[in-house]
Chains A and B, each alone.
Chain A
Amino acid sequence: MIAFDAFRDGETARRLAAAIAAEAQPGRSYAFMEFCGGHTHAICRYAIAEMLPANLRMVHGPGCPVCVLPVGRVDAAIAIAERTGVTLCSFGDVLRIPGSHRRSLLSAKAAGADVRVVYSPLDALALAQALPDRQVVFFAVGFETTTPPTAAVLARARHLGIGNFSVFCNHVLTPPAIAAVLGEAADRPVLDGILGPAHVAAVTGADAFAGFARDARMPVVIAGFEPLDLLQAILMLVRQANSGAARVEIQFSRGVTAAGNRAAQALTAEVFEPRAHFAWRGLGQLAESGLRPRPGFAAWNAETRFEIGDPPPEPRTACRCAEILRGLAQPADCPLFGSACTPESPHGACMVSSEGACAAEWSYGRGRRRIWKELR
């Protein structure tokens, strides 16, 4: 048995926090970036930041797939959904992402488009089989964790010869986003370590992160999502930073290996190929950072079927997501945070999903002490 609850023990959490406070050197500061939106969510939900010493800061990163999807891709999805005979489906959060003029897939649905929520890409394929007279499009969004499931469904659609199904692919890769944040830009955030995403690494393998330790001299700890996972990983980062080390350590050893899930990697490589460039909200065009179906899957590629071109550059708005995604601003720095922009009525993408920095901070800003009490 795995005692999952043991990773939420409040007393051990406090003692880990005490160890972090004892080992963090008073003469310096520490800034660690959590790349994954799942970590952002967990850090806010369990009020991890409040347990850390004043000279240790967690910086939110660009690892929320809903947040990094550029407006142009949302607009393209809306345009597909508005075509006659099309049923477009995606995950619930994706339907709420604001595109141009604050239109979303949900507002397109309200205006009459056939837009549906699915829990899994399997449901999308099942929908195509159930609706043979409709063109069913799965609006695929996500990092390395969500990509292999889409690949599996595309392979199945081709195998079964399901002609009324296609995928609007927006899958992106974690390492190029990390590289872009660490990058060369003069205003890049000053970081002392990276909290690496365990579920992404379970697929890619921890080795995918080795370059950041080796070339950028950045300590990396691949961490799980429970409170004790996070606190142990932060302590491991403090120890690496203190000793001047820069290596990849695996805190989430129960699910992550150096090589990752070979079957998932093989299926992904069979179905998808890298695009030369892909546009990210906040990070701009990044080389080899996005995937598209290989030519053998062109018949199931919505971009081919509906002739979707490259999106125009991002419009400028008051939303500060772009800086938040690069670790240069915090949600509270945005004048719209909690006033014009709330999870019920998101102005920017970071307020849509519970893994977005703005939504996570807003939702748990008040309720979090109560949650910890439940765990104690």
Chain B
Amino acid sequence: MCLALPMRVIEFLPGEMAVAERDGIRKEISVTLVPEVAIGDYVIVHVGFALAKLDPAEARRTLALIAEMAAPGPR
């Protein structure tokens, strides 16, 4: 029951709701808990609520750091 998924906010709806999308799947979620969210933002969705925003620049930084930390490959 704890599985939470990253999704992208694509449209606002009345009542602090929004449409979020991931891999072509759309869902109505509440954005009550992330008042600063904007269209195009990534959020972590859990039990129908956006819990927090995800930062794409930080995601890229993490991937770069992982590439650095990983042992050198065969090539």
B-binding residues in A (CB < 8 A): 1-4, 6-7, 11-12, 15-16, 18-19, 22, 36-38, 41, 64-66, 91-94, 119-123, 141-143, 145-146, 148-149, 152, 199, 202-203, 228-229, 232, 235, 251-256, 260-261, 263-264, 267, 353-355
Contact = CB atoms under 8 A, between A and B. Distances in A.
22 contacts: A15-B72, A15-B73, A22-B71, A64-B2, A91-B1, A94-B1, A122-B48, A122-B49, A142-B2, A148-B33, A149-B33, A199-B46, A232-B66, A232-B69, A235-B69, A251-B62, A261-B34, A261-B51, A263-B32, A263-B34, A264-B51, A355-B1
A142 B1 contact: yes
A15 B71 contact: yes
Given A19-B71, A263-B34, A65 B62 contact: no
Main secondary structure of the interface of A (DSSP, over half): helix
Nearest to A121: B47
B2 A38 contact: yes
Contact of A203 (B30, B32, B51, B67): B51
Nearest to A152: B32
B25 interface: no
Contacts of A229: 62
Instruction: Specify which of B42, B53, B63, B67 lies most central, judged by the most chain A CB atoms within 10 Å of its CB.
Output: B63
| Shortest Cβ-Cβ A-B pairs, 6 listed | A120-B48, A15-B70, A202-B52, A18-B71, A254-B58, A254-B59
A148 B34 contact: no
B63 A6 contact: yes
Contacts of A355: 1-3
B58 A253 contact: yes
B62 A253 contact: yes
A253 B61 contact: yes
B30 to A, nearest CB: 6
Interface of B: 1-4, 6, 30, 32-35, 42, 44, 46-49, 51-56, 58-59, 61-63, 65-67, 69-73
B49 A148 contact: yes
Contact of A232 (B42, B53, B62): B62
Given A145-B4, A353-B1, A255 B53 contact: yes
Contacts of A254: 54-56, 58-59, 62
A36 B56 CA distance: 24
A267 B2 contact: no
A176 to B, nearest CB: 18
A10 to B, nearest CB: 12
Contacts of A94: 1
A119 B58 CA distance: 30
Contact of A65 (B2, B56, B63): B2
Given A65-B1, A94-B1, A199-B44, A261 B52 contact: yes
A229 B71 CA distance: 16
B23 to A, nearest CB: 9
A149 B35 contact: no
Contacts of A41: 3
